[in-house]
Amino acid sequence: MIVWVAWAGSAVGYALLALGALSLDQRIYTRAVAEALARHRATRPEPADAVPDEDLRLGVAAVAVLAEGDGSIHRAFSTVITDMVARGVLEAATEDDGTPTLRLANRHHACRPGESDEEEALRSLASSYQNPATADPHGLLHPTADRLMTEGYLRGRGVYIDFERPCLFWSRTVAALTLPLAALEMYAFLDWRYALVAGWTSMAMIVVAWGLALPDSERPQALRLPVLTERGEQVVRQARARHAHLDPAKRPASQAYAPDEAAAACAVFGNAAYSHFAAHTPGFADAFTAGVERRLASRAADHLRRHWNDFIG
C-alpha cells in the first residue's frame, strides 16, 4: 500500500511540476505580448484626418468591401447588382424553363457616363443572355480590393505586430529534468509487481516532456492587426454617418429605397438592407439566388471534373 501511495505521489508531483512550469511561462508570454502591444501603440503614427467625401470618391463597391470589415467582396458583389436593378438596368425575369434570372431591362439603353468596370462586365454578361449573378465575385471585384490595399485602406489578412516569442525557460527546464526523473521512477519501482505501472508512468512523463519542449509556432491573436487600416475605418464611419437615414432597422418596412439609395444602403448595412430592397422588388431575390446557386454548382462540377481527371490519369 505504501508503494502505491509513493507512486501516486510521484505522478501527482510531476504533474504539478509541469503545470507550474507552464503557468510561469504563460505569465512571461502574456507580459511579452502586452509589451509588444504597448510598443506598437507608442510608435504608431497619428492617423491623418479623413478627407471630406472620400467615401463618395471611392464608390459604393469599395465602401461595401470596407464596411464588410474582413476584406471580403461578397457584399460588394450584391451591392453592384442591387444598384443596377434599382436603376432599371437589370430586371427580374424567367428563363424558358421557368428558372428565375436577371436580364437587361432595355438592350438598346446606352451605358451611363463613368460606368464602372464591374457594371460593364455584368452588362456584357446579361447581354449574352446569362444571369449576371453567375459571375465570379473574386474575378470581378479583385481590382477594387487590390486598389484599396494599394491606397492604404486595407492591410490584408494575417498581418501581425512584430513579436519575438520569449524562450520557454521553465517548460524546457522541466523537460530536461524529465529523463532523470523517469529513470528514478523506474529504479524506485523496480519490483516486478510495479514494473509495468512504473514503465507506463515513465513513458507518460517523456511524452509530457516532449510536449513541453516543442516550440509554439502559432502567432498570438492579440497581436493580429485588423484588416481595415485607420484610413479605411474613417471611410466606413463617413459612409455610415452620411447614410444613417437608410438604416433598415430605423426605416418603416413599407418605405422602399429610392433608385439612388439602394446601393448605398446595401454597401453600408449589408444583408438587412438587401432584404429590405428585395422585399420591394418582386423576383429579384429569387433571380439573384438562382444565379449564385448556378455559379456554385458549376464550380463544384468543375472541381469534381479536375479531380476525376487526376484520379483516372
pTM: 0.72
In the structure grid, which three cell numbers stand for residue 75, read together?
457584399
Q: Which residue, 301, 311, 294, is CA-closest to 125?
A: 294
Q: What are phi and psi of 290, to 5 degrees?
A: -60, -40
Residue 309 CA to residue 75 CA, distance in Å, equals 34
Given a contact cutoff of 8 angstroms between Cβ atoms, the answer to whether 31 and 231 are in contact is: no
pLDDT the model gives residue 179: 67
SS3 state at 290? helix
The tens-digit pLDDT sequence of the chain (313 residues) is 665 566 666 667 777 778 888 788 888 888 888 888 787 777 776 556 667 888 888 889 999 999 988 878 899 999 999 999 999 889 998 888 888 999 988 766 656 666 778 888 888 888 888 899 999 899 888 899 899 988 888 887 777 777 777 777 777 777 777 767 666 666 666 665 666 666 767 777 777 777 777 766 666 667 777 888 888 889 999 999 999 999 999 889 899 999 989 999 999 999 999 999 999 999 999 999 999 998 888 888 776 777 665 545 4
